[in-house]
Chain A
C-alpha cells in the first residue's frame, strides 16, 4: 500500500513536467497544443535510444528538451508562418511525430537493467544510496520538479516572461507594443514542448521503456492537471484562509500560490484519482476511459467547459 502511494506520487510529480508544458500553451498562450501527444513520446524515444547507446543519463535531459523544442518550433511555424489554425497545427505535428518517433527508436524499446538511469546513476547513489529505488525515484522526481518550477517562476517575472503572459491575455496589445505576436507564440511553443519532452524523458528513465502509443491522451492528462490545479487555486485564493493569510506579514506568501505550484498539485491529485480507480478494481485497459471521464467531470465541475479551446 505504501509502495503504491509512493509510486503514484512519483508518477504525479513526473507528469507535472508535462503539465508545466501544457500550462504554458493552454493556460498562458490560450493555445491547445495537441502536438503534446507526439512530443511526449518523442522525448521518451530519444532518451531510450541515447540510454541504450550508453550516453550519460543526465545528458539525456537537455538533449530531450532540445529535440522537444524543435517539435514545438515546427508546430509554431506551421501555425504562425503558414497560418494553419492552432488545433490543426498541433494535430499535424502529433501525426508526423508518430512515424518520426518510431523512426528514432526503431520499434518499441526497452532499456535493460544494467543501464544507469537518472535514478541509479553515480551522483544519486552517492547521496541517496541507502534508499530503496522507489524512494530514490520519489526524491529525484521531487527535486527535478521543484527545480523546473522555480526556473519557470523566475522566467515569468522577466520581461520575456511577461510578454509571453501578455500575448495569451491580449495578443492585440502585444502588436501595439511593436512586438511580433507570432514570434512570442513561437517562443512559448518551443518552451512548452521542451518541457513536455523532458517529461517524456523522465518517464522513460522511470519505466525503462518507450512505446509508440505512450503519447495517447497526454494532452488530456496535462489539461486535466492544469484545470484541477488552477480551479483549486482559484477556490483557495477566494477562501477566508487565503484572505486571512494575506494580512499576515510572515505567512503572506502562502496566500496566493504560483500557477506552477497549482499545476504540480493538480497533476499529483489527478494521478491519485486514477490510481484509486485502478485500485478499486478498474481493469488497466479502461484507464484511458477513466482519464477521459475524470477530465469531463473536472471540466464540468470547474465551470471551464473548454470554451477557450473552441474559440481559439
Chain B
C-alpha cells in the first residue's frame, strides 16, 4: 500500500514566485491498483509522481509504503521497488548503447555492477523472447544503437526495461503522449498486460481520457493540487470518457482557464 500523508509542496519558497501546490495533500493507493490520473496542466499530476519517486523535495508531510516512511530515502533508493516510464521516449534508454547493452543494464538492476561481464550471452534468448512479446519485430535488432530506433520502439523497450526485474510500483508519466495514435495504443496494451501479469501497483498520468477510463481501476482528476474526482469500483465502471470530459470542462470554466 502506498500512502501520501498530508504532503505540502511549495515551489520557489521564499521568493516572489512562491507557489504552494499541495497543502496537506493525502492519497492512499491500494496494492495492485491501476490508478489513472487526469487533470489540466499545472494541476499537480507530475509533481505527485515526482514526490512519490523522490525526484523533488517536499516541505511537509510523509510518503509511506506499507506504513513505513520513505520520505528520507533518496530517489535511487526508492527505485529499488519502482519502475518509471517517461513521456520522452529517449528518457528511458541510453541512445548510444545498443539495445542489447540497454537490456543487460536493466536486467542487472538490483544486483551489483561489478567487474563481471556486462552482457550475459545466456540471457540473449530470454531477451529475444521478451522483445518478441512486444510484437514490434525488435528481436532482430539487438545490436542496433538505441538512438537509431523510432520513438515508439524506444518507448516499448523503455517499458520492458522498467519492468524487467521484480518490482512493485510502476510510475507512468504521460508515457504515450509523444507517440502517434497507433503506437500509443500498442504501448498502452503492453502496459496493461505487464501491470496485470506482474500484479503491479501502477500510477499513470495521462491526457487521454479514454485510456484513463479503459485501463484504470481508479480514476483521479486533479485541479490546483487537489483531487476533485476519485472514482473506483462500481462508480468507476459507470463512468465514461464523456463524463470526465464534462467534469474537466466545468472545472476549467470555474477556474477561468
Contact = CB atoms under 8 A, between A and B. Distances in A.
A177 interface: yes
A308 interface: no
A178 B80 contact: yes
B115 interface: yes
Contact of A165 (B91, B94, B162): B94
A124 B105 CA distance: 42
B37 interface: no
A166 B76 CA distance: 15
A92 B82 CA distance: 37
Contacts of B94: 165-166, 169-170, 173
Q: Which of A155, A166, A178, A179 has the most CB of B within 10 A?
A: A178
Nearest to A165: B97
Given A166-B105, A176-B84, A159 B116 contact: yes
Contacts of A176: 79, 82-84, 92, 162
B50 to A, nearest CB: 12
B246 interface: no
Given A165-B94, A170-B91, A173-B94, A158 B114 contact: yes
Interface size grouping (class) on chain B: 20 to 34
Interface string A139-179: 00000000000000001011111110110011011111111
B115 A158 contact: yes
Interface string B75-116: 111011011101000111111110001001110111011111
Interface of A: 155, 157-163, 165-166, 169-170, 172-181
Interface of B: 74-77, 79-80, 82-84, 86, 90-97, 101, 104-106, 108-110, 112-119, 162
A176 B75 CA distance: 8
B118 A157 contact: yes
Contacts of A162: 97, 101, 104-105, 113, 118
8 contacts: A160-B115, A166-B94, A166-B97, A170-B95, A173-B93, A175-B79, A177-B106, A177-B108
The 3 closest A-B pairs by CB, nearest first: A162-B118, A169-B94, A178-B79
Contacts of B110: 178
Given A176-B84, A177-B105, A178-B109, A169 B117 contact: no
A197 to B, nearest CB: 22
A172 B80 CA distance: 14
Contact of B113 (A155, A163, A173): A163
Nearest to B110: A178
B118 A177 contact: no
Nearest to B80: A178
Nearest to A183: B76
A158 B76 contact: no
Contacts of B90: 170
A166 to B, nearest CB: 5
Given A159-B115, A173-B94, A180-B74, 20 more contacts: A157-B117, A159-B116, A161-B118, A162-B97, A162-B104, A163-B105, A163-B113, A165-B94, A165-B97, A165-B101, A169-B96, A170-B95, A172-B86, A175-B79, A176-B92, A177-B105, A178-B76, A178-B79, A178-B109, A180-B76
Given A159-B116, A159-B117, A177 B79 contact: yes
B97 A169 contact: yes
Nearest to B91: A172
A158 B77 CA distance: 23
A162 B105 CA distance: 7
A173 B116 contact: no
A283 to B, nearest CB: 42
A141 to B, nearest CB: 27
A158 B117 CA distance: 4
A159 B113 contact: yes
A163 B162 CA distance: 16
Q: Which of A162, A165, A176, A177 has the most CB of B within 10 A?
A: A176
Nearest to B85: A176
Contacts of B105: 162-163, 166, 173, 177
A173 B101 CA distance: 13
A213 to B, nearest CB: 36
A188 to B, nearest CB: 13
Q: Which of B74, B82, B94, B117 has the most CB of A within 10 A?
A: B94
Nearest to A177: B109
Q: Which of B79, B112, B113, B115 has the most CB of A within 10 A?
A: B113
